[in-house]
Amino acid sequence: MPVRPPRARRPVPRRHLRLVRADTAGATAPDARPTVHLVVPPRPPEELLRLALAGADAMVIDLVGPEQGASPDVAAARAGARALLRSGRRGRRPEVWLRVPPAGTDACAETLALSAGLGVGLVVADARTVDDVEWVAARAPRAALMPVVESSAGLASSTSIARHPSVHRLALSPLAQPPAATGPVLSPAEARQWQLAIVALAAEAAGLPGPVDAPYGLHGRPAPGSGVDARVQDAATARAAGFTGHCVSDPDHVRAVRALLETREP
């Protein structure tokens, strides 16, 4: 009797992915409204609930440790995420995301296993190819993913990454090593504009909302020159390129950045 080959895993449609949003407690595709993401390290539940009062649309709990390893505080992050999901009234809860180490690493596998079943979104650090996204999706098949482009390889693959059915949104973080070809030609500001444009076009082509900009990374630590005016200027630059989300690490910056993102362009 012939043996049937194993059935290929079917991708989960975006509408079935689980992401607890501010207006629902189930699976929905993201809307196109501007969003401010407050990035924080793992904290006790009471501290995360206090930070949520800043009014961010999304809370990103960073679970990436030194050298892109696993954070030792996954248990604390799990408790904090549960507290956020239960907080407030439906319609006032922030989205809850966990930033996990790069795909294909033991650190990522460990973090995914320890955070399974929470029903939160996953921000995937340093996504370089669509295979990285598939690796995470295979281990968290019903989670909404936000791959972070932070390398030249990720920038080159951003279109295929955006088209993966588990991806709800793209994010852009400073490239660890900008493409060599841009060095002699573009200033740092021009190179940033170029990177923003590539990721925004990839998201638009895939039918995703505008990407999320993290101009100083997603590690939850205060950014250099961390005044609110600098954060608002960063958000304005990204918005002009088509981004509708912005990451901040200081809760005092949330309202000013949101006001900028919600202002209609002339």
Q: Please tell me the predicted confidence (pLDDT) of residue 166.
A: 96
What's the CA gap between 211 and 204, in Å, rounded?
9
Tens digit of each residue's pLDDT, the chain (266 residues)? 454 444 444 444 443 444 443 333 333 344 457 789 999 988 889 999 999 999 999 999 998 876 666 666 778 888 888 888 887 655 567 899 999 999 999 999 989 998 888 889 999 999 999 999 999 999 999 899 999 999 999 999 999 999 999 999 999 998 766 666 555 677 878 888 999 999 999 999 999 999 999 877 665 555 555 578 888 888 889 999 999 999 998 899 998 888 888 876 65
- β-bridge partners, 40: 61
Tokens of 235: 């958000």
Q: Please tell me the predicted confidence (pLDDT) of residue 116.
A: 86
CA distances from 125 to 1, 147, 219, 264 (A): 46, 7, 10, 31
E strand or H helix at 121, and its extent? strand 121-124
Q: Please tell me the predicted confidence (pLDDT) of residue 16.
A: 41
Cβ neighbours for 160, distance < 8 A, ≥ 6 positions apart: 129, 130
Are 171 and 147 a contacting pair, CB within 8 Å? yes
What's the CA gap between 9 and 111, in Å, rounded?
23
Q: Please tell me the predicted confidence (pLDDT) of residue 184.
A: 63
Q: Please tell me the predicted confidence (pLDDT) of residue 68.
A: 66
Tokens of 262: 């919600």
E strand or H helix at 258, and its extent? helix 254-262
Q: Please tell me the predicted confidence (pLDDT) of residue 159.
A: 97
Q: Please tell me the predicted confidence (pLDDT) of residue 70.
A: 64
Q: Please tell me the predicted confidence (pLDDT) of residue 225.
A: 55
Q: Amino acid identity of 46? A: E
E strand or H helix at 99, and its extent? strand 95-100
The closest of 162, 156, 166, 98 to 135, measured between CA atoms, is 166
Global model pTM greater than 0.85: no
Q: Identify the residue whose tokens are 């020159």.
A: 225
Q: Please tell me the predicted confidence (pLDDT) of residue 224.
A: 54
Task: Count CA atoms closer than 13 A to 73's CA, side-chain side.
Answer: 18
